[in-house]
Amino acid sequence: MDTSRSRSRSVLGTLAALLLLALTAVAGPTATAVRQPPPAADPAAVRDWNAIATDTISTNLGPTRPSGQAVVWHGFVSAAVYNAVVGIQGRYAPYKWRARGPSTASPEAAAVTAAHHVLVAYFPASRAPLDAAYADSLAKIPDGTAKTQGVAFGARAADHLTALREGDGRFATVEFTMPPAPGVWRPTPPAHLPFIDTWLGKLRPMVLTSPAQFRPGPPPALPSARYAQDVNEVKTMGARTGSPRTPQQTETALFFGGSLVVQLQSAYRDYTARHDLDIADTARLIAAANASATDAVVTAWNTKLHYGFWRPITAIQLADTDGNPATDPDPQWQPLLITPPHPDYISGHATVAGAVTRTLTGILGTAHLDLNVSSEATGTTRHYDDGVRFNEDMINARVWAGIHFRTADVTGCHAGNRIGAWTLTHSFQPLHPARPHATPPGRPTCPHGTAR
């Protein structure tokens, strides 16, 4: 009897020891892996696909399309990339999404997948080069569970964004119905093209509550002194020939005469690389800037549709019809740059610039933006320490180019500032802010008393 009991205890002890050993073998390494922080994710994945998005959008729309449409696609792509990254890392609130990915997933794999899938969804004609770029990006990421999880979550982020934007008014038929009259826009030379991409003025915004939320009041009345001042300034400073512009002023007009969206994306990539921003902060900066820029385009086009104010070339050539004794007609007058095919008020360039610079001051927590902005039009690069100087140059450039009245630029900048502040107040916030009021809505970046 005692011998039998002794043998039973011995067997049970052996089994217990073996079970403990097995549990230790299983739990030990797992416990160690949980304690180890995940490897740092490479923010170059976000920058690379921002550049790919820029090339894809430019290829499909045409690099010189005189519309704000390109900004919209950047807004969509960068929002999906942002959700893919922060949904894994958890530092910032996702954009209109509640999903969370595995903390062990690769943010790089998620980012490149989100960008690729959104671009293919909107630009299927570019699938072949996008697929090739996607394969190259994935090849840089080690195979394993983290990569697989990242790809899966990035696909979810892309699907969510495209579903979110369904029925948003893209490409809807929107007619500009104002009949020609003094002060009313009409097609301008040399091509006399119709109002381009009118649907932008009715597009559902990304962050704002409606396209008209920050629509400003009307442009100056034709008989007013302010209107005459605007007309006479652009007539003198924006003329193709015979203008007293200095070489520096002409270079400024040309510098901002190309694609603003290309200039801005390049500046974002340069800034985030030089300042060594991590992948979440890189994705956040680009997404917040592009979302506010998208809503700036919507606001500008909504305002253009609503007021339909004529361009300088029309106003100057037909000044004898405006009822203002302080303006004189010049039927042969031509602007330095070709006038884009949409109304003057408000300036899309100035509205986008105002929105982006206000957003960046909030994201970065400083008025000193340290932006390097390049221009394909002039082949030069300018450094901007702050948003005020950037917007001052932008406002002057559109006047000196002869394509906008100053009021359209200044009013656009202020509307953009309001959009940028709203964007940061309502989106792209830290989940656990160090300050009680989260990210402040940035600092005003529109110049006071912009030089005429």
Question: How far is it, in rounded angstroms, from Cα 244 to Cα 233?
Answer: 11
Closest CA to 376 of 146, 35, 36, 58: 58
Contact status, residue 284 vs residue 111, Cβ threshold 8 Å: no
Question: How far is it, in rounded angstroms, from Cα 330 to Cα 322?
Answer: 13
Contact status, residue 307 vs residue 73, Cβ threshold 8 Å: no
Residues 6+ apart with CB under 8 A from 113: 84, 134, 150, 151, 153, 154, 155, 157, 158
Residue 304 φ/ψ region, left for φ over 0, alpha for ψ in the -120 to 50 degree band, beta for the rest: alpha
Chain mean position to CA 384: 18
pLDDT on residue 436: 52
To 5 degrees, how large is the angle CA 360–CA 366–CA 369? 55
pLDDT digits (tens, 9 = 90+) for 355-370: 999 999 999 999 899 9
pLDDT on residue 64: 83
Place of tokens 């381009």: 196
Which pLDDT tens digits describe the chain residue by residue (452 residues)?
444 444 444 444 444 444 333 433 444 433 333 434 455 799 999 999 999 999 999 999 987 889 999 999 999 999 999 999 999 999 999 999 999 999 999 999 999 999 999 999 999 999 999 999 999 999 999 999 999 999 999 999 999 999 999 999 999 999 999 999 999 999 999 999 999 999 999 999 999 999 999 999 999 999 999 999 999 999 999 999 999 999 999 999 999 999 999 999 999 999 999 999 999 999 999 999 999 999 999 999 999 999 999 999 999 999 999 999 999 999 999 999 999 999 999 999 999 999 999 999 999 999 899 999 999 999 999 999 999 999 999 999 999 999 999 999 999 999 999 999 999 999 999 998 665 555 678 889 999 865 54
Amino acid at site 77: V
pLDDT on residue 439: 67
Distances (CA, A) of 433 to 79, 83, 306, 438: 21, 18, 40, 5
Question: How far is it, in rounded angstroms, from Cα 99 to Cα 156?
Answer: 9
Residues 6+ apart with CB under 8 A from 424: 288, 292, 359, 362, 363, 439, 440, 441, 442
Question: How far is it, in rounded angstroms, from Cα 153 to Cα 181?
Answer: 54
Contact status, residue 137 vs residue 72, Cβ threshold 8 Å: no
Distances (CA, A) of 369 to 74, 224, 247, 362, 383: 21, 37, 26, 10, 10
Distances (CA, A) of 404 to 67, 306, 309, 330: 15, 17, 11, 17
CB neighbourhood size of 54 (10 A): 22
Q: Is the dihedral of CA 316, 322, 325, 326 positive or negative?
A: negative
Task: Decide: helix, strand or coil at residue 336.
Answer: coil
Closest CA to 85 of 69, 54, 106, 68: 106
The pTM for the full model equals 0.90
Question: How far is it, in rounded angstroms, from Cα 132 to Cα 372?
Answer: 30
Partners of 386 in beta bridges = 368
Residues 6+ apart with CB under 8 A from 132: none
Task: Decide: helix, strand or coil at residue 64.
Answer: coil
pLDDT on residue 15: 42
pLDDT digits (tens, 9 = 90+) for 155-179: 999 999 999 999 999 999 999 999 9
Domains of the chain by start residue, with CATH: 44-164 (no CATH), 198-426 (1.10.606.20)
pLDDT on residue 447: 94
pLDDT on residue 164: 98
- The first and second tokens of residue 88, run together, are 């894994």
pLDDT on residue 432: 81
CB neighbourhood size of 435 (10 A): 9
